[in-house]
A and B are shown apart, each in its own frame.
Chain A
Amino acid sequence: MNSFTYTRATAVEAAVREKAADDGVKFIAGGTNLLDLIKENVERPTRLVDLNHLPLTAIEAAPDGGLRLGALATNADTAWHEQVQKRYPLLNQAILAGASPQLRNMATNGGNLFQRTRCYYFYDTATPCNKREPGSGCSAIGGYNRIHAILGTSDSCIATHPSDMCIALAALNATLQVTGKNGERTVKFEDFHRLPGNQPELDNTLAPDEVVTAIDLPNEDFSRHFSYLKLRDRQSYAFALVSVAAALQLDGNTIKDARLALGGVAHKPWRDQQAEDLLKGQPATEETFRRAAAAVVENAQGYGHNTFKIELAKRAIVRALKQAAEGTQHAADIFTNSNP
């Protein structure tokens, strides 16, 4: 373990000040990812500022009638919160598809947003990685890239974003409440994570001194027709090869509104609003779903070992939309997300 100092933040403003003053500072909440990264010598913070004692654990009504999830509420408390289960079951399903019960008990909502990729090369300091060491090269391109991205990649990085929770947040049109040295601001979820471009070391668009204080879920109802379909190498405790968050509002068999986001395929939660537009106003049929699925992967690029993800993503989108339309998420669950 590397030497570092540890302080406990007592107020959000104090945390922001500490971070702004020293770029060796890392915030720590649940620590479920950061501690691994420190042990592997991927992250070497000189100061840890512990956010756990900030008053950000509440899950409460948001000003617009939606739901505000405190950044320090745990993933477990969030998934099982009565309002989340009732109004945002897609989020409940996505969170429960991730990690393990033990990890979800530790992991916080804020921390989940800052999870780093699980690319093998990112974790192995014996190999070059542009995300870990800018300019050193990408080992996954031309290397073993079975778990890597097919959408929005760049020549410098094909890593994927690992979260399940964030895929649902993208689909649900969440917004983030952020505090920095210049005060508070709101960030649209889709503007938070970024594509790698030529700066893959940056996972998101926050300024270095900013801290996420809450996640707001809008006052919308996708509680009847939704699906979080996660495909992976084992039934639990594995990151998605491909995951799909699908949510629909139906009028009879006509799609009034649609949300579609993918995990395991890109450097960020991959929401595709053009594909959503192809769904809106259309009958909820397999043909419609196929059209949307084809649109999502239209510009997808495989790198060899991960090329199967293009076809898998298409099929997963169709399946998830079907499940959403039929309202069979829980029945389908038996096979795809958990066991009987």
Chain B
Amino acid sequence: MSMTNHIGKPLNRVDGPAKVTGGAKYAAEFNVPNLAYGVAVSSSIAKGRIRKIHADEILAIPGVLQVFSHENVPSLAWFDRSYKDDVAPGGSPFRPLQGAEVKYSMQPVALVVAETFELARYASGLLRIDYDVEKHDTDLETKRDDGFEPGRGKTGWVPPPKPRGNPDKELRNATHRVEAEYIHLAQHHNPMEMFASTVEFLGDKKLTVYDKTQGAFNSQQYIMKVFGLNKDEAHVISKFTGGGFGSGLRPQYQLFMAVLAALELKRSVRVSLTRQQMFSMGHRPHTLQYVELGTNPDGSLAALHHHALHETSQYEDYTENVVNWSGMLYQCDNVKLTYQLAKIDVATPQDMRAPGAATGSFALECAMDEMAYAAGIDPLEFRLRNYAERDQNANKDFSSKKLRECYHEGAAKFGWDKRTAEPGSMRDGDLLVGWGVATGVWDASIQKCAAKATLTADGHLTVLSGSNDIGTGTYTIMTQIAAETLGLPMAAVTFQLGDTTMPEAPLQGGSWTAASVGNAVKQVCDKLGEQLLKLAQKMEGQPLKGASYEDVQFVNGQIRLNSDITQAVVIRDILAANGEEKLEAENTMMPNPVNQLKNSLHAHNAVFVEVKIDPELGTLRVTRVVNAVAAGRILNPKTARSQVLGSVVWGISMALMEESVMDHGFGRYINHNYSEYHIPVSADIHDIDVIFVEEEDDKVNPLGIKGIGEVGLLGVAAAVANAAYHATGKRIRNLPVSIEKLML
């Protein structure tokens, strides 16, 4: 019986106690000595030029130290490439405070630095700015004919595959055909923690930067390039992040501002944004989608066309994979996938939880429901009938795909077989009941990642990798992997992250952290284990003589022979017996290129939703959700479940509430606060069941991990809209599904 098998156990978060006792410090909580405070000033216009910033008026206030703007910012890096971060899209990155031009409403145009936060905020409220206003253009709806196909996109963007078969002809000839347009407005990430950077000035150009980010190394590279710093001068720390959802993938402008002010004032500076300013940055783009589907007489998909047009800024071409998924989720030989951008006067959109797929799956999965009804087939049966056994986009086999099991297990748990097909046919008293289903697919990615492991003579193992934990449970699962690999109790292992002096890890995003950092941790611990075994074999009278690493197991604090587990050496004793204080291993994990290229690597899910609707008042409640997920090996069912619960809540939010409403008169998101940009409260959330379908996969990566940060969100909004249709017979293709759209 092993006490050191930790992987797959529903363990509590190792960082939980620190988080609930205040021990976990976030970027704005590092109270370094002699700190000055910066408050960003946001543009009140959407387009134009700054004529004059009346800085002198507030510089007269005692305690106001400086007003930074394009009028006084020193000459910095010249080329665009210096401002490009790891995930910058094509185009010219926005350079804060480096030009008179205003490109979008709420663009940061000045930074007021003062002795106290209160004073900086007060002074920023008094700062007068004169603008030459130009006519702005913020309405994507008017850009339907101005779309263009993006050139080279950002890392991870894949242009839609070329059309296959003869989709136009097959759509014309289809037995049943549906077509519809699906729309959602922009949505903003709004993680609980606002963006903040505390920059400690350590003399000359040497800085320690506490940053809210999803990638300390990305922030480090950015400030090195922009401000001409070397690695030692740009030490970035980000050990706790209060949610990111993609908003922290790119360095946000408060980082630039805080570093600028610290270097210029030769003083430590903190800049934290307000909740309102969380709407002054990247967002899920306003997207218009058109889907056309046709079926053959047997209910198989004859043809599929999915088109998406979304906004981008005037200065960068943000891209995300919206339509590609539609070519791989179902078996279909005649497919046309098209994708365009249109430029408007907004901040560049940015990856937001399941970027592209959350958008695409909403449209495709609503259209699949419409198609099922048109063909007279149960929506779940329709999906099963068109199940894709291969990835037709890439013409590859899936490394594993247990979506069918997701459908079956999810449906069983939900009770789908009791559904009556006719819209409006299910009731609970005066309420209409609707049941909807939808599905999703997401990349199972892995990135190069380094890690370092150190075992000290007291038997404690410390593993480092400069990743982030954006609340997902990275600290916990990495501790589990390290502890299990070297057969140690959880308490004997510490995993650390979020520091650019650590071995380099990729950005935390794309659902690849568990796989990337996890396999790196496993590898480096194996490397340390091999060294440990060699050391153990030097001990007097030890029973492991001649054994190779494959011949032994690390279990219950011992190295023991597979062939006779009573023959063992206690790990704690090995270093002391050899007179070593510590043993170290460092390693960079590289993904296996053959497996990565040979297979289609994806996670899947199936979502079942029940809604109850008061038809007269238009009120809707999502009363039940079952989300069945096939995402490879689940490292910790508790933290994994929490991730999927969060995804479901997010999906309900996307379906029912979230929209950043642009007032086109001002070119400004007018509900830019938590009061009027609604996300669910606890009272909106009812039963959520999460099922992890067993899925073994030795091809995706050695640990068989697919990542669950994003897949759980897919299909939720569509399933809610489909359930609303089932309840009412009303198709709502324009999110959110709000009260005025449901009043019958």
Residues of chain A at the chain B interface (Cβ within 8 Å): 1-3, 39, 41, 118, 120-121, 123-127, 139, 142-144, 146-147, 231, 233-238, 241, 308, 311-312, 315-316, 319, 335-336, 338-339
* Cβ of B681 under 8 Å from chain A: yes
* Cβ of B373 under 8 Å from chain A: no
Q: Are B617 and A308 in contact (CB under 8 A)?
A: no
Question: Distance in Å from the Cβ of B27 to the closest Cβ of chain A?
Answer: 21
| Chain B residues in 8 Å Cβ range of A142 | 665
| Chain A residues in 8 Å Cβ range of B621 | 235, 335, 339
Which one, B118-126, B205-213, B245-253, B353-361, is touching chain A? B118-126
Bound form: Cα–Cα A338–B683 in Å: 7
| Chain B residues in 8 Å Cβ range of A39 | 121
Question: Distance in Å from the Cβ of B237 to the closest Cβ of chain A?
Answer: 29
> CB < 8 Å: which of A144, A237, A311 contacts B670?
A144
Q: Are B663 and A311 in contact (CB under 8 A)?
A: no
Q: Are B676 and A237 in contact (CB under 8 A)?
A: no
Question: Distance in Å from the Cβ of A293 to the closest Cβ of chain B?
Answer: 12
Question: Distance in Å from the Cβ of A79 to the closest Cβ of chain B?
Answer: 17
Contacts A143-B665, A236-B683 given; indicate if A1 touches B619 (C-beta within 8 A).
Answer: no
Bound form: Cα–Cα A335–B683 in Å: 11
> CB < 8 Å: which of B619, B668, B679 contacts A126?
B668
When C-beta atoms are compared, the residue in chain B nearest to A121 turns out to be B670
Contacts A1-B122, A315-B616, A335-B614 given; indicate if A235 touches B683 (C-beta within 8 A).
Answer: yes
Q: Are B680 and A123 in contact (CB under 8 A)?
A: no
Question: Distance in Å from the Cβ of B654 to the closest Cβ of chain A?
Answer: 13
Contacts A124-B670, A234-B657 given; indicate if A118 touches B663 (C-beta within 8 A).
Answer: no
B contact face: mostly helix, strand, loop, or mixed = loop
Extra inter-chain contacts (10) besides given A127-B670, A319-B616, CB under 8 Å: A118-B675, A126-B666, A143-B663, A231-B619, A234-B679, A235-B680, A235-B683, A236-B684, A315-B616, A339-B686
| Chain B residues in 8 Å Cβ range of A316 | 617
| Chain B residues in 8 Å Cβ range of A315 | 616-617, 743
Bound form: Cα–Cα A236–B681 in Å: 7
Question: Distance in Å from the Cβ of A146 to the closest Cβ of chain B?
Answer: 8
Question: Distance in Å from the Cβ of B21 to the closest Cβ of chain A?
Answer: 21
Q: Are A234 and B431 in contact (CB under 8 A)?
A: no
What are 5 sample pairs from A and B whose C-beta atoms fall under 8 A apart? A123-B673, A124-B672, A125-B44, A126-B105, A235-B621
Bound form: Cα–Cα A339–B44 in Å: 40
Q: Are B681 and A235 in contact (CB under 8 A)?
A: yes
Bound form: Cα–Cα A121–B686 in Å: 34
* Cβ of B671 under 8 Å from chain A: yes
Q: Are A1 and B118 in contact (CB under 8 A)?
A: yes
Bound form: Cα–Cα A124–B682 in Å: 28
When C-beta atoms are compared, the residue in chain A nearest to B661 turns out to be A144
Contacts A120-B676, A231-B619, A238-B678 given; indicate if A312 touches B683 (C-beta within 8 A).
Answer: no
* Cβ of B98 under 8 Å from chain A: no
When C-beta atoms are compared, the residue in chain B nearest to A125 turns out to be B44
Bound form: Cα–Cα A124–B619 in Å: 29
How many interface residues does B have (CB within 8 Å)? 40
Question: Distance in Å from the Cβ of A121 to the closest Cβ of chain B?
Answer: 7
Question: Distance in Å from the Cβ of B115 to the closest Cβ of chain A?
Answer: 14
Bound form: Cα–Cα A237–B673 in Å: 13
Bound form: Cα–Cα A144–B125 in Å: 25
Contacts A1-B121, A2-B125, A236-B683 given; indicate if A336 touches B619 (C-beta within 8 A).
Answer: yes
Bound form: Cα–Cα A3–B125 in Å: 11
Contacts A1-B122, A312-B617, A315-B616 given; indicate if A233 touches B743 (C-beta within 8 A).
Answer: no
Contacts A118-B675, A144-B661 given; indicate if A231 touches B617 (C-beta within 8 A).
Answer: yes
Bound form: Cα–Cα A315–B656 in Å: 21
Bound form: Cα–Cα A236–B679 in Å: 11
| Chain A residues in 8 Å Cβ range of B617 | 231, 312, 315-316, 319, 336
Question: Distance in Å from the Cβ of B140 to the closest Cβ of chain A?
Answer: 16
Question: Distance in Å from the Cβ of B730 to the closest Cβ of chain A?
Answer: 14
| Chain B residues in 8 Å Cβ range of A335 | 431, 612, 614, 619, 621
| Chain B residues in 8 Å Cβ range of A121 | 670
Residues of chain B at the chain A interface (Cβ within 8 Å): 44-45, 105, 118, 121-122, 125, 431, 612, 614, 616-619, 621, 656-657, 661, 663, 665-666, 668, 670-673, 675-676, 678-684, 686, 738-740, 743
Question: Distance in Å from the Cβ of B368 to the closest Cβ of chain A?
Answer: 28
Bound form: Cα–Cα A235–B623 in Å: 13
Q: Are B671 and A120 in contact (CB under 8 A)?
A: yes
Q: Are B121 and A126 in contact (CB under 8 A)?
A: no
When C-beta atoms are compared, the residue in chain A nearest to B613 turns out to be A335
Question: Distance in Å from the Cβ of B717 to the closest Cβ of chain A?
Answer: 16
Bound form: Cα–Cα A241–B743 in Å: 13
Q: Are B684 and A235 in contact (CB under 8 A)?
A: yes
Bound form: Cα–Cα A124–B672 in Å: 9
Question: Distance in Å from the Cβ of A36 to the closest Cβ of chain B?
Answer: 8
| Chain B residues in 8 Å Cβ range of A241 | 739
Contacts A1-B121, A231-B619 given; indicate if A308 touches B743 (C-beta within 8 A).
Answer: yes
Question: Distance in Å from the Cβ of A38 to the closest Cβ of chain B?
Answer: 10
Q: Are B740 and A308 in contact (CB under 8 A)?
A: yes
Bound form: Cα–Cα A99–B714 in Å: 32
Q: Are A312 and B122 in contact (CB under 8 A)?
A: no
Contacts A118-B675, A231-B617, A335-B621 given; indicate if A311 touches B680 (C-beta within 8 A).
Answer: no
Bound form: Cα–Cα A315–B615 in Å: 11
| Chain A residues in 8 Å Cβ range of B680 | 234-235
Q: Are A312 and B743 in contact (CB under 8 A)?
A: yes
> CB < 8 Å: which of B122, B663, B678, B679 contacts A139?
B663
Contacts A139-B663, A241-B739 given; indicate if A127 touches B684 (C-beta within 8 A).
Answer: no
Q: Are A41 and B125 in contact (CB under 8 A)?
A: yes
Bound form: Cα–Cα A294–B166 in Å: 56
When C-beta atoms are compared, the residue in chain A nearest to B682 turns out to be A236
Contacts A127-B666, A139-B665 given; indicate if A234 touches B678 (C-beta within 8 A).
Answer: yes
| Chain A residues in 8 Å Cβ range of B684 | 234-236, 339
Bound form: Cα–Cα A139–B740 in Å: 22
Interface centre among A124, A127, A312, A336 (most CB of B within 10 A): A124
| Chain A residues in 8 Å Cβ range of B679 | 234
Question: Distance in Å from the Cβ of B57 to the closest Cβ of chain A?
Answer: 15
| Chain A residues in 8 Å Cβ range of B743 | 308, 311-312, 315
| Chain B residues in 8 Å Cβ range of A123 | 673
When C-beta atoms are compared, the residue in chain A nearest to B44 turns out to be A126
Bound form: Cα–Cα A202–B661 in Å: 28
| Chain B residues in 8 Å Cβ range of A139 | 663, 665-666
When C-beta atoms are compared, the residue in chain A nearest to B736 turns out to be A233
Q: Are B738 and A233 in contact (CB under 8 A)?
A: yes
Question: Distance in Å from the Cβ of A243 to the closest Cβ of chain B?
Answer: 12
Contacts A121-B670, A234-B681 given; indicate if A147 touches B676 (C-beta within 8 A).
Answer: yes
Q: Are A312 and B618 in contact (CB under 8 A)?
A: yes
Bound form: Cα–Cα A127–B617 in Å: 33
| Chain B residues in 8 Å Cβ range of A41 | 125
Bound form: Cα–Cα A312–B744 in Å: 10
Q: Are A143 and B657 in contact (CB under 8 A)?
A: no
When C-beta atoms are compared, the residue in chain A nearest to B665 turns out to be A143
Question: Distance in Å from the Cβ of A140 to the closest Cβ of chain B?
Answer: 9
| Chain B residues in 8 Å Cβ range of A3 | 122
| Chain A residues in 8 Å Cβ range of B45 | 126
Bound form: Cα–Cα A120–B673 in Å: 9
Question: Distance in Å from the Cβ of B130 to the closest Cβ of chain A?
Answer: 14
When C-beta atoms are compared, the residue in chain B nearest to A235 turns out to be B683
Contacts A238-B678, A311-B743 given; indicate if A233 touches B670 (C-beta within 8 A).
Answer: no
Question: Distance in Å from the Cβ of B460 to the closest Cβ of chain A?
Answer: 42
| Chain B residues in 8 Å Cβ range of A143 | 663, 665-666, 670
When C-beta atoms are compared, the residue in chain A nearest to B45 turns out to be A126
Interface centre among A312, A316, A336 (most CB of B within 10 A): A312
| Chain B residues in 8 Å Cβ range of A231 | 617-619, 739
Bound form: Cα–Cα A316–B614 in Å: 11
Question: Distance in Å from the Cβ of B684 to the closest Cβ of chain A?
Answer: 5
Question: Distance in Å from the Cβ of A276 to the closest Cβ of chain B?
Answer: 22
Q: Are B668 and A127 in contact (CB under 8 A)?
A: yes
Q: Are A120 and B125 in contact (CB under 8 A)?
A: no
